Structure 1
Amino acid sequence: MSVLIVTGGSRGIGAAICELAASRGYDVVVNFSGAAAPAEEVAERVRAFGQRALAVRADVSAEDDVRALFDAAASLGPVDALVNNAATTGNTPGRLDGYEVDVVRRTLDVNVTGVFLCCREAVRRMSTRHGGAGGAIVNISSTAARTGSAGEWVHYAASKAAVDTLTFGLAQEVAGEDVRVNAVAPGMIHTGLHAAAGLPDRMAKYAPLIPMGRAGQPVEIAEAVLWLLSPAASFTTGAVLAVGGGR
């Protein structure tokens, strides 16, 4: 029985990953940092598939919280899958020269330090070097790492570029220890992030720039993640898979 931790699993892409994973036999730990109710709802949907689920509050940028998250997950069994989905843009979009440093620091704390801390705890449990039985990690990056997100979230784009580099470097470190590390880089996806940032029409604005002519759905990202977690991707590590409709 596989045990999967999904950070930021209470909504959007994270929730879609939790539900699809449950449909494919994973027990799921739904991590959240805000309101508990949405995470509990996702956990209930996981249980509806006949799988076990926990909703665990943890700030991924806080070392003690991350340790507690993995300890809680261990109650379901050895953790052999991790999806680092939790992230923030700092919400208010704008040019780099208009950003407050606290927003940038918080974005880097969650998007980069959070991924580092969760990867570290996962490797300490999964790696055969540490007595584990192996596993798979998928980090959620963004095509913004390549496009730069100018005029909106350059700091966010930079944080996702760091995730790409972390993915490739860690994959090489643990390739011989039965741990695979990959990333999925979503493009424009229909989630609540855009409206929360005050940009409810963002998808309509960018859709004409996407070769496929539309924004993606969270489940389309979830499908890519579940492939990378699965044995079907057994010879894939250090990859960043772009899922952005060609943009």
Structure 2
Amino acid sequence: MSKVTVVTGGSRGIGAATCRLLAERGHDLAVGYRRDQAAADEVVQSASKLGVRAIAVRLDTVVRDQVVHLFDRAEAELGEITGLVNNAGIGSTIGPFVDLTEADLRRVVDVNVVGYFLVAQEAVRRMSAGGSIVNVSSGAATTGSPNEYVHYAATKAAVDTMTVGLSKELGPRGIRINTVSPGVTHTEFHVGSGEPGRADRVGPNLPLGRAGRPEEIAYAIAWLLSDEASYTTGATVRVAGGG
């Protein structure tokens, strides 16, 4: 059976690196993106050159109808869904907890928690023959990110708990669900935090002495989706350079 994998937030950063690696390993791909169509199209073109099928679908993961549309397109054009990389998340400007705006709080919770649930729910509905889901969380879930973005960290802790609960509920249906928790990584995520160079600042303080690369996170995601991880569910794989 061919592997058909949906990747949300697939146009940039960890999502794009994951799409490219999965294409190398023979996955057909539905690349979900929110804004950057050119970047999503580039990911699709890269995958197509490797001989797999790929489509790009624009959506906001907090809108159920758009989530359903993503999966409808994926099934219609690629076939039965076997995998999901639940990756579309956001942060907001770094700062003290008391300076956090209600608008930022609500949007981060909406995308990072509600969006993850809506996407996973739709994937599960389509996985009649079993499958594998990887939630992309963050090392912040256990550090709490004080003085930076406690609200973001809290949403990622929610994702970790979601993984544990769903792994127990869905295991009998042959659906595995795991989490990858990246540490600080060289992506555009830090632009939205107001400190584009954060990875360069934090990286040298980690045990491995540097920030991660998107490709290094992608390898962990790809392994969890693979048959090599057939007995792994409810796990959190931390890829954080020792941090």
Q: TM-score, normalised by structure 1?
A: 0.96
Equivalent of residue 85 in structure 1, options 83, 87, 90:
87
Q: CA deviation at 1:195?
A: 2.8
Identical residues among aligned pairs (%):
51
State the distance in 2 between where 1:194 and 1:33 align. 17
Whether 1:25 aligns to 2:26 is: yes
Which residue identity lines up with residue 125 of structure 1 in the other structure?
R
Conserved 8 A contact 2:204-2:211: no
1:1-247 pair list within 5 angstroms: 1-75=2-76, 76-90=78-92, 92-126=93-127, 132-247=128-243
Q: CA deviation at 1:147?
A: 0.7
State the distance in 2 between where 1:196 and 1:111 align. 15
> Over residues 184-241 of structure 1, what are the superposed CA-to-partner deviations in whole Å (9 max), with x where a residue is unaligned?
0000111111134321221222123210001110000000000000010011000011
Q: CA deviation at 1:47?
A: 0.5
Q: CA deviation at 1:37?
A: 1.1
Regions of 4+ moved over 2 Å: 195-198
State the distance in 1 between where 2:178 and 2:53 align. 25
Which residue identity lines up with residue 107 of structure 2 in the other structure?
R
**Unaligned 5+ runs, structure 1:** 127-131
Who is 1:129 aligned against? Answer: none
Alignment coverage as a number of residue pairs: 241
Q: TM-score, normalised by structure 2?
A: 0.97
State the distance in 2 between where 1:155 and 1:139 align. 18
Q: CA deviation at 1:35?
A: 2.5
State the distance in 1 between where 2:241 and 2:106 align. 31
State the distance in 2 between where 1:35 and 1:215 align. 25
Conserved 8 A contact 2:112-2:155: yes
